[in-house]
């Protein structure tokens, strides 16, 4: 008997998207009861958001669709609204267009645009739902998958994000081409997994870090907050420049002078910060900013360091650290840049210099 008709091509993107949809359906079911209350709240917010627009406005768009105006004109209106930041208006127009669109390819296009508008307006659940619907119509849909990936990153549903990432890799025909992104998502998933004990989580994070040294910054952040002693043992001298801001902000209570002295850049940084006992610190530094700060010691706290984060892909600079560039959306590792600034902090603020762990990732 020939069973070939049962054979499935596992490299087929349509198959992987189908698997993604099945996984999502399964996870959604389990998650349903836990999230019911939260979802109701979110839906209410969406409803409130939608009813904010006058009936007249709604009717106007519906009438426009019913009058049989060329869909291109309506799409143009929606795109204009989207580009000028009027996302709610864009959503309404796209919804009106969808009502009269029958052609599948056009529907996919409108659904993707609608998903993007919901995303921009901050309605991640709605955006995710419409994109999944669009993927049901067309599995090989890179734009929808890319946006879905960013939504699951934002909502910190890292396991779903990994599924989407794998579908993208298969669609792009390059297995493991996004290994850095995947390692970050796996770390996020471990950190968010409440079923793990602290010890098990640490073990699994260390195992992941051994395979993905790119995670240095994230692992350092995690351990400085949860197990500082261990954090100092995990230092990778080749990657210290990725985490200067983290070291600059750590509390003196978890400072390890012995280990800091072993690495030139940390020796300079903590000498500039003033964390070493008198006589132990360096009197000059190779890095200009640290050198100035060391020399300004007698004018204690008159200067400070400010950090900015540059995207290696598009070179845009941001005041907060990121794992995905807010401008070009590349998932890369921001380059940390330092600037000397006048210290405006009060004595109280300086004493409250506690380090907050990974607020922008988990």
| 156 Cβ contact partners less than 8 Å away, ≥ 6 residues apart | 188, 192, 362
Strand order in the sheet with 303-310: 317-318, 303-310, 335-342
**How far apart are CB 221 and Zn ion at their closest, in Å?**
21
- Of the pair 133, 146, the CB lying nearest Zn ion is at 146
| 289 Cβ contact partners less than 8 Å away, ≥ 6 residues apart | 272, 305, 338, 339, 340
| Buried b or exposed e, range 251-287, using 16+ CB within 10 angstroms | eeeebbeeebbeeebbbbbbbbbebbeeeebbeebeb
> Distance (Å, rounded) from C-alpha 202 to C-alpha 108?
43
- Of the pair 70, 319, the CB lying nearest Zn ion is at 319
- Of the pair 270, 333, the CB lying nearest Zn ion is at 333
- Of the pair 235, 325, the CB lying nearest Zn ion is at 325
- Of the pair 93, 311, the CB lying nearest Zn ion is at 311
- Of the pair 231, 325, the CB lying nearest Zn ion is at 325
Query: What letter would DSSP give residue 314?
Result: T
In the complex, the residues that contact Zn ion under the rule CB under 5 A are: 311, 313-314, 325, 327-328
What's the half-sphere exposure (Cβ side, CA atoms, 13 Å) at 97? Answer: 28
- Of the pair 137, 328, the CB lying nearest Zn ion is at 328
SS3 318: strand
**How far apart are CB 175 and Zn ion at their closest, in Å?**
25
**How far apart are CB 333 and Zn ion at their closest, in Å?**
11
**How far apart are CB 325 and Zn ion at their closest, in Å?**
3
- Of the pair 140, 335, the CB lying nearest Zn ion is at 335
Dihedral angle, C-alpha 99, 124, 194, 239, nearest 10 °: 140
SS3 313: coil
Two tokens, residue 337: 């840049």
Ramachandran class of 11: left when φ > 0, alpha when ψ lies in -120 to 50, beta otherwise: alpha
Ramachandran class of 196: left when φ > 0, alpha when ψ lies in -120 to 50, beta otherwise: beta
**How far apart are CB 353 and Zn ion at their closest, in Å?**
30
**How far apart are CB 315 and Zn ion at their closest, in Å?**
7
> Distance (Å, rounded) from C-alpha 113 to C-alpha 292?
51
**How far apart are CB 317 and Zn ion at their closest, in Å?**
10
- Of the pair 237, 312, the CB lying nearest Zn ion is at 312
> Distance (Å, rounded) from C-alpha 327 to C-alpha 334?
12
> Distance (Å, rounded) from C-alpha 283 to C-alpha 271?
8
**How far apart are CB 324 and Zn ion at their closest, in Å?**
9
**Contact, 107 vs 98, CB < 8 A?**
yes
**How far apart are CB 329 and Zn ion at their closest, in Å?**
7
């Amino acid at each position: 008997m020939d069973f070939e008709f049962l054979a499935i091509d596992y490299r087929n993107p349509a198959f992987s998207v189908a698997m993604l949809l099945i996984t999502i359906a399964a996870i959604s079911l389990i998650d349903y009861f836990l999230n019911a209350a939260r979802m109701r709240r979110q839906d209410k917010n969406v409803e409130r958001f939608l009813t904010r627009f006058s009936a007249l406005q709604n009717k106007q768009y519906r009438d426009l669709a019913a009058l049989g105006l060329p869909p291109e004109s309506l799409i143009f209106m929606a795109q204009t609204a989207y580009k000028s930041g009027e996302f709610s208006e864009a959503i309404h127009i796209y919804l009106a267009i969808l009502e009269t669109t029958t052609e599948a390819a056009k529907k996919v296009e409108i659904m993707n645009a609608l998903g993007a508008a919901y995303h921009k307006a901050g309605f991640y659940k709605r955006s995710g739902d419409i994109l999944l619907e669009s993927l049901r119509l067309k599995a090989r849909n890179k734009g929808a998958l890319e946006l879905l990936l960013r939504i699951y990153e934002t909502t910190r549903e890292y396991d779903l994000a990994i599924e989407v990432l794998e579908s993208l890799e298969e669609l792009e025909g390059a297995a493991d081409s996004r290994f850095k992104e995947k390692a970050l998502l796996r770390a996020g998933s471990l950190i968010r997994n409440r079923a793990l004990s602290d010890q098990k989580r640490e073990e699994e994070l260390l195992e992941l870090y051994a395979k993905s040294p790119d995670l240095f910054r994230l692992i350092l952040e995690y351990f400085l907050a949860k197990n500082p002693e261990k954090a100092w043992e995990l230092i990778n001298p080749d990657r210290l420049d990725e985490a200067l801001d983290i070291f600059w902000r750590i509390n003196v209570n978890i400072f390890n002078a012995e280990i800091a002295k072993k690495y030139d850049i940390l020796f300079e940084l903590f000498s500039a910060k003033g964390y070493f006992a008198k006589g132990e610190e360096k009197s000059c530094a190779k890095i200009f900013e640290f050198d100035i700060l060391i020399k300004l010691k007698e004018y204690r706290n008159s200067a400070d360091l400010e950090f900015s984060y540059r995207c290696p892909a598009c070179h845009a600079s941001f005041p907060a650290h990121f794992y995905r560039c807010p401008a070009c959306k590349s998932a890369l590792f921001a380059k940390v840049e330092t600037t000397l600034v006048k210290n405006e902090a009060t004595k109280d603020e300086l004493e409250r210099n506690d380090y907050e762990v990974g607020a922008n990732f988990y």
